[in-house]
Amino acid sequence: METTSLTDTQEHVLAQISAGFTIRAAASSAGVHRNTIAYWMHTSPDFHQAFEEAETTRALLKRSEAEERLDAAYAAIDRILANPDAPTGLTLKAALAVIDRAAAPLPHHPAPQPQPPSVATPAEPSTESPQPSHPPVPTAALHNPASATKPGRNDLCPCGSGRKYKRCCLDKVPPAAPLKPPAAA
């Protein structure tokens, strides 16, 4: 973090953040407003890089502190789960904490190895179908009156693409059938 282009105040802020202080506390300690730190982030590439390094240092510090308390935390959760008189909400929160921890992704995932492309020979046509750019649109489910409510324009698209409905499948839905007038008796 020895960068000569940073001021003493900036260095002080970075040292405070590395030590575990919040941005607000680091700004107060240095005698600047927290928006000043945001300004430095946007205008000084050197400060931005040093800030990211300080944030990483702070995250590692907090993780280390949490790991030191991990055994006691699991013991407390075990006591809550084993206590039949514990409030239901507390038991549920303890159980969810264990489930969340068990479902957390592993810290390192190896990169997938590229697969060689399969080449179809004239005697053996390829059985693979091309993958669509996003999942197929469930148009019947989107506008079936018996189904759940119709998504709003700014809601996430129910097709699962992650895009807004108005930018994804709004125009792909077939128009509703016109209503027929009741037959005269």
Q: Where are the domains of the chain?
A: 8-68, 70-102, 137-173
Joined tokens for residue 108: 């390192």
Buried (b) or exposed (e) across 131-158, using 16+ Cβ within 10 A? eeeeeebeeeebeeeeeeeebeeeeebb
Q: How far apart are CA 12 and CA 84, in angstroms?
A: 51
- φ, ψ dihedrals at 9, nearest 5°: -65, -45
Task: Decide if 94 contacts 77 (C-beta within 8 A).
Answer: yes
What confidence score (pLDDT) does residue 185 get?
55
- Tokens 């699962």, residue? 160
Stronger pLDDT, 8 or 103, i.e. the higher one: 8
Q: Which of 15-19, 163-167, 171-175 has the lowest mean pLDDT?
A: 171-175
DSSP letter at 121?
Answer: B
Q: What is the pLDDT of residue 72?
A: 85
Evaluate whether 14 touches 27 at the Cβ level (below 8 Å). Answer: no
Query: pTM of the entire structure?
Result: 0.43
Question: Is the pLDDT assigned to residue 19 strictly greater than 50?
Answer: yes
pLDDT of residue 126: 52
Residues 131-154 have pLDDT tens digits of 545 444 444 444 444 445 677 878
Strand-pairing partners, residue 124, are: 121
Cβ(70)–Cβ(64) under 8 Å?
Answer: no
Q: Quick: pLDDT tens for 68-123.
A: 888 888 888 888 889 999 898 988 888 888 888 777 776 665 566 666 666 555 55
Look up residue 35 and give its two tokens.
């928006």
Predicted confidence (pLDDT) per residue in 35-60, tens digit: 999 999 999 999 999 999 998 888 88
Share of the chain above pLDDT 90, in %: 22
pLDDT at res. 179: 56
SS3 call for 88: helix
Amino acid present at 135: P
Per-residue pLDDT, 14: 93
CA distance 102 to 93: 14
With contact defined as beta carbons under 8 Å apart, do 138 and 159 qualify? yes
